[in-house]
Structure 1
C-alpha cells in the first residue's frame, strides 16, 4: 500500500512531467495520465471470470482481480480446508497444489490461474478413504491443534513427488545421487510449513513412513 507521503510524491512527479504550455505534447501527456488512472479504477472495480479445475471439478469464478487464490477458495467457493494463517506467505498454512506444484495460495491471485488444476486438502482424501499421508499423520500424531495440518499434508504430498522426480534440496549431499530421506532432508523440504504446536518430529516420521512405502 502506498503511504500518503509516497502518494503525494508520485502525484507531484506526474504534475512536474506535464509541459507548462498548452501544446500538443501537454494535451497528450494529460490524456495519457487520465487514461491510466481510469484503467486503474476499472481494474480495481471490474470482476473477472476465471475458470479453475479444483479437485477434479470445474468452477467458474467471478471475482475482483485482486482476489487471492486463498480467498477465492475460502470465501467464494466455500472450500475452507485451506487455512489462512499469516496471509503473507510465511507460515504455509494455505499451501495448495497447482498443476502438480505446491504454492502458497495467499501469495497468488486467482485470476492468474485460469485453466489451472488446483488440489486442496479436500481433494486428497475423504473421511472414509484417507490418503496415505493423512493416515500417517493420524498414526504418528503429526498434529495437535490441526490448523496447519491441511497445508502440511498438501505440501508433503507435492514434496514426495519432487523426490520421485529426483529434485535435490539445499541440504542434499550429492546432486546426482539418490535422495536419502534423512531427518534433515525432510525438514529442509518442509521448512516452508510452520507448526506452532511443534509437532515436527512426528510430522517428519509420518512423511518418512509414506516415502518408504510403509503402511499405517
Structure 2
C-alpha cells in the first residue's frame, strides 16, 4: 500500500541515512533528508512533515536544540535516534519534547513499527471532525475537546503533544481505573513493556508540568506506587 506521509530524516551519517531511506521508501514513505541541524531548520521552515526522525548528535546545530526550538510552535511527532542510549539521554530527549526514542544500533523493523505508531497517533490527534457538536470532557478545571483535540485549563489553551493528549484522555476517561505501565505502553505506543520505565515517567512528568497546579503534588494524574497511574477523582 502506498502511503502519502512525508518524513524528514535528520541524520549526518550518510550510510545510516541511505539505509533508512531505502527501507522506508520501500514501505511507501516519502523521505526528505537533512545532514545537519541548520539544513533541517531550513527544510522545516519551507515544508510540512508527518514525522521527523532526528539524530541527537548533529553538526552546526544539535538535535536537542533543534527539537527544543521546534516545540515552540509545532507538535509534529519526533522520533529521536542516538548512539547514546542511557536513561539520562532518553530523559533529556523526551523532556525536550520527543515522542519516542530509539537507541543505535536499531532494527529497521522496530524503526518502521515506531514510525507507523507515531503517524497513526498524530493523524488521530490532528484530524478535524466534521461533527457539529463538540465532544467535551471536564475534569479538575480542564476542558478536553475530543472533537478538535484541544485542552484548556481555566479557559487558557494548553499546548499538548499527541502523546500527551492521548495519555491525558486515557486517564480522564477512566478515572477509577489504575493503568499499569505495561497497559499504557500497549495502549499509547502500541508496543510491549520491557521494564524501561523512563519513557513513561518522562511523558507523565511533562504532562503534569502543563496541567497540574502543583506538579510536585499532583491531583489530576496520581501515581499508584508499584503499579502505575490513575486519574484523581474530581473534588
Same fold (TM over 0.5): no
Q: TM-score scaled by structure 2?
A: 0.33
| Larger RCO of the pair (alpha carbons < 8 Å, separation 6+) | 1
Q: TM-score scaled by structure 1?
A: 0.35
